[in-house]
Structure 1
Amino acid sequence: MKALIVEDEQMARARLIRMIETDFPEVEVVGQTDSITGTLDFLRLNGDPDIIFMDVELSDGDCFEIFRQRDVTSKVIMTTAYDSYAVKAFETGSIDYLLKPIGTAALQRAVRRCADYFRAAQLQKTPNPAGEGSETKDSDAGKIMDAVHDAKKWKKRMLVRIGERYLPLMIEDIAFFYSEDKYNYVYMKDGVRYLLDLTMDKICEGLDPESFFRISRGCIVSRETVRKAIRHANGRLKLELSVLTPEELFVSRARVENFLRWFE
């Protein structure tokens, strides 16, 4: 299956491509775009690939403008940090809806769903009076909403190891995650800090994106602890939290726009 990646955030695009190349040899990435204009140009020159992994918010507007200008026949897998686009995604015929940060299990489900559609299309070339194997628009809607529902089953707690003991932490009690000297820590709202043996990417996979935001490569903050965001040099935002931090926290320039939407 040939795939196009439509994503305006370079790190997110690189991570998705890496996941596809590692876990899905049957999927070949044939192109990358980061805008409405670039995507339309690619499709005009190359035709529709089998699959499009499509971020909702692109550098020059939302992706739904693509569908207003062109009849896209690819199987579209929407990728976004927000669940509010689910209905719109279904209306454009999307086959799945993945909330960022995208986990391996969710990506496997989406790719498997695409493969199932292509197999079903082959079967439909053979006359089938009973209509078996056909999909209805209602079933597509159910799949999209089920995907959003599944994605909302976020972790309620996480385990930290202290010597030979494991301590459960409630996610709602976490203030932020922070990288320091090549180690990752979780800071609790009561000021206690614990060392983690997880990467930041792994930590993100279990967190509700409505409640937590990764402001930089080395920091993830809880919405409940953010008191204010202040414009700073180089297009960054300086955050004031309700808890003490090891140093000043900044939202990287590339993440400012998405952070403000999330913070709102």
Structure 2
Amino acid sequence: MNALIIEDEKAAVRNLQALLKEVAPSTEVIDTLDSVTESVAWFESHAAPDVVFMDIHLADGSAFEIFEHVRIASPVIFTTAYDEYALRAFKVNSIDYLLKPIGAADLRRALDKLETLHGAAGAGASAASGESLAELIRGLQRQGHYKSHFLIPCKGDKLLPLAVEQVQYFCIADGVTKAVVSDRERYVLPNTLDELTDSLDPARFFRVNRQYLISRGAVQDIDLWFNNRLAINLKVPTDGKILVSKLRVNDFKNWFSGS
């Protein structure tokens, strides 16, 4: 069996490779990828592997974006740390997931399920299940209960309530996540930007790149940038230029226009 690993954390790649050698030593890892862009290009130019191990959060966005650009004719075993909607979807579709940190027993169970799936329905049905899985996950995310408020620790023993609708954008700055309300109001949050992306209403917020998650209402105007990218200018000052990658331009336009 040959396997493709799509994962942006080098330590996680090494761990999964080591576990595969332990649990399924005949498995050959034919390639490792770390981004949506790289993965789309790979699937466009390579034959389908027997199985794909795919992290949900990649270097340049969500793994589910890959399904929007290419057809993946392989069963997929996702890896995740916290996406509860995805976990429910995996169970419904009989495609397993590996919850980080991954253990040998988890991997063995996933491969056993994959073998059973192949024997019962064949690789074609597995691929179809993978595609319907992505659709179901997107539907569940749209129907989910999204975060509406934060409680921000203040000096002393107080918590400051902050409504999500007040936030213009979230960003990574100085190694921490910040919620920006205005030029003078910035609050440090314990959440990662990936966690915020999963917990906030996607109709209101868009992850433009690894550093910024922006509100539609915060957009002042948009510059056409070189190499078919976009530069987003917000009503509130930012620490740097906010660029939308070429791969995400259409997604951003559709999101902003509500289509």
Q: TM-score, normalised by structure 1?
A: 0.56
1:48 aligns with 2:49: yes
Superposed counterparts of 1:42-191, under 5 Å = 42-43=46-47, 48-51=49-52, 53=54, 56-57=65-66, 62-64=69-71, 72=73, 74-76=74-76, 104-106=82-84, 110=90, 113-114=95-96, 115=110, 117-118=113-114, 120-121=116-117, 146-152=136-142, 153=144, 154-163=146-155, 164-188=157-181
C-alpha deviation, 1:149, in angstroms: 4.0
User: 1-side partners of 2:45 and 2:183: how far apart?
Assistant: 52
User: 1-side partners of 2:253 and 2:222: how far apart?
Assistant: 9
Runs of at least 5 residues in structure 2 that lack an aligned partner in the other structure = 55-62, 97-109
Percent of aligned pairs with the same amino acid: 21
1:130-177 C-alpha deviation (Å, 9 max, x unpaired): xxxxx9xxx999866653343232322233211332333222221111
Could you say if the C-alpha distance between residues 233 and 142 of structure 1 is closer, same or farther in structure 2, counting changes exceeding 3 Å? closer
C-alpha deviation, 1:237, in angstroms: 3.6
C-alpha deviation, 1:186, in angstroms: 0.8
**Aligned residue in 1 for 2:8:** 14
C-alpha deviation, 1:214, in angstroms: 2.9
Contact 1:161–1:196 (8 Å) recurs in 2: no
C-alpha deviation, 1:229, in angstroms: 0.6
User: 1-side partners of 2:195 and 2:137: how far apart?
Assistant: 20
In angstroms, what is the RMSD of aligned CA positions?
Answer: 4.8
Q: Which amino acid aligns with 2:114?
A: F
1:14-71 C-alpha deviation (Å, 9 max, x unpaired): 15x766766894697542463667426532xxx631336475558xx9313x6xxxxx
Give 3-state SS (helix, strand or coil) of 1:245's partner.
Answer: coil
User: 1-side partners of 2:130 and 2:236: how far apart?
Assistant: 47
Q: Which amino acid aligns with 2:51?
A: D
Could you say if the C-alpha distance between residues 122 and 14 of structure 1 is closer, same or farther in structure 2, counting changes exceeding 3 Å? closer
Q: TM-score, normalised by structure 2?
A: 0.57
Give 3-state SS (helix, strand or coil) of 2:50's partner.
Answer: coil
Runs of at least 5 residues in structure 1 that lack an aligned partner in the other structure = 7-12, 67-71, 78-95, 126-134
More helix by share: 2
Range 219-228 or range 197-206, more displaced: 197-206
Q: Which amino acid aligns with 2:173?
A: E
Contact 1:215–1:255 (8 Å) recurs in 2: no
Could you say if the C-alpha distance between residues 199 and 142 of structure 1 is closer, same or farther in structure 2, counting changes exceeding 3 Å? closer
2:189 to 162, 185, 196: 196
